[in-house]
Structure formats: structure tokens, C-alpha cells
Amino acid sequence: MAKKWIGYIGVGSLMCAALGCGILYTRQARLQQTISDKVLRFHVLANSDSEADQNLKLAVRDAVGSFMQEKLTDVENLEECELVVRQSLGEIEEAAAETIAENGYDYDVTAELEHTSFPVKNYGSYTFPAGDYEALRIVIGEGNGHNWWCVMYPNMCFSDSMYEVVDEEAGEKLREVLTTEEYEKVLAEGDYQVRMKYFSWLNPYLEKLAEN
């Protein structure tokens, strides 16, 4: 009898854990969606992971970043940023292609404004949850190398340190476009990852729940 009760308790505990995990997953998925609806990311993919291709990726990043910094100076909202980027795609490709040629390569390069799936990404003190985000996506050559990214809107890309440090002003810009809950989410250290580690077998069911 005791073993039977222990079994009942175990099953009950597992069901409670699964329910709690499902609620957390659904909440986090919806929160990620609201965050992604308010930001635009800048994404550069290198041809390969060779040192030369990675250095070229950074050179393209710098060239396009300098070009877009001027273009986006007077942008006041996400819609304006998207419009400027969309209208500048041809010039962005030209700037990237010129940089590639100047560095002695003949790789093809494309620049597109599209929705892209990102894993969890840390940017300074901020952690952006995994999911689909709209991004200015530049692909150099085969695009098989490690990528680089930042947040183009609100402007967290362009600073005196050339992308390496998210300063206080950039953080305030992010705070202005997100709700308090969303902002606290990106400041967190990705604690939602716990469910992936301990409840991975539940993921197919949780994903269906999040879609409803």
C-alpha cells in the first residue's frame, strides 16, 4: 500500500511539474513574441569560420554599420527604421560588396530584411530569448561561419566602442520601447532555459499549447 501511495504522489508531482512548466513555457513564448514585435536586429553571417572570413565579416559589419548609422539618425520608431532599411537594401549590398572586394575577395553578398529564427543571445547585460525576430540579414558567400548580431532598433548597435559595449544610453532606449515585464525579461539570465534541460520530453506538447 505504501508503495502504491508513493507511486501516486510521484505521478501527481510529475503532473504538477508538467502543468507548471507548460504555463511557464506558454507565458515565455508569448513574452518573446511581444519583445520581437518591438525590435529590429542586425545580423551578419560570415562565409566560414576561418580567421580571414571572420575578419572580413567584421569589416563588412563596420562598413554597413557606419553607413546605416547616418541613415537612421532621425528614425523615431520601428516602422520608420524598417522603411529606411528596406529602401536601403541595394545600397547596403553595394557597401558590403565594395568592402569584400577591397579586402581581396569575390564572395557574393546579399542583404535582406526578413524574419529569422535566433537562439538565446546575450548582448552585454541583456539576454534576448530564442525565437523569430525581424532582422537586417547580411550573408557573405556561403554564410556558414559564426555570425555577429546586435539590436538595430532601438539603436544599440552604434557606439564609440563600435558595437562591443552596451552603454547606459542604449539600455535606456531599450527600456523606452519595452514594457516593464519585457525589459526585466531581457535583463534576466535566461532562467527559462531550465525547462529545456529538465523537461525536454514535454517540448512537443508545450509548443502546441503555446500556439493556442
**Each residue of 30-81: pLDDT tens digit?**
667 888 899 999 999 999 999 999 999 999 999 999 999 889 989 999 999 9
Question: CB neighbours of 203 closer than 8 A, spacing ≥ 6?
Answer: 196
Mean pLDDT in residue range 163-188? 78
pLDDT grade for 121, boundaries at 50, 70 and 90: confident
Mean model confidence pLDDT for the chain: 79
| 3-state secondary structure at position 210 | helix
Closest of 131, 140, 132, 83 to residue 111, by C-alpha:
140
Which is more confident, 197 or 122?
A: 122
Mean pLDDT in residue range 146-163? 77
Mean pLDDT in residue range 184-212? 53
Handedness of CA 176, 181, 186, 188 (dihedral sign): positive
Cβ atoms of 49 and 141 within 8 Å: the answer is: no
Residue 32 is predicted with a pLDDT of 74
Does 26 have pLDDT greater than 90? no
Residue 5 is predicted with a pLDDT of 53
Does 199 have pLDDT greater than 50? no
Q: Name the strand (E) or helix (H) holding 135.
A: strand 131-140
* Centroid of chain to Cα 52: 25
What is the C-alpha separation between 159 and 21, in angstroms, rounded?
Answer: 39
- DSSP code at position 129: P
If one counts every other C-beta atom within 10 angstroms of the C-beta of residue 146, the result is: 11
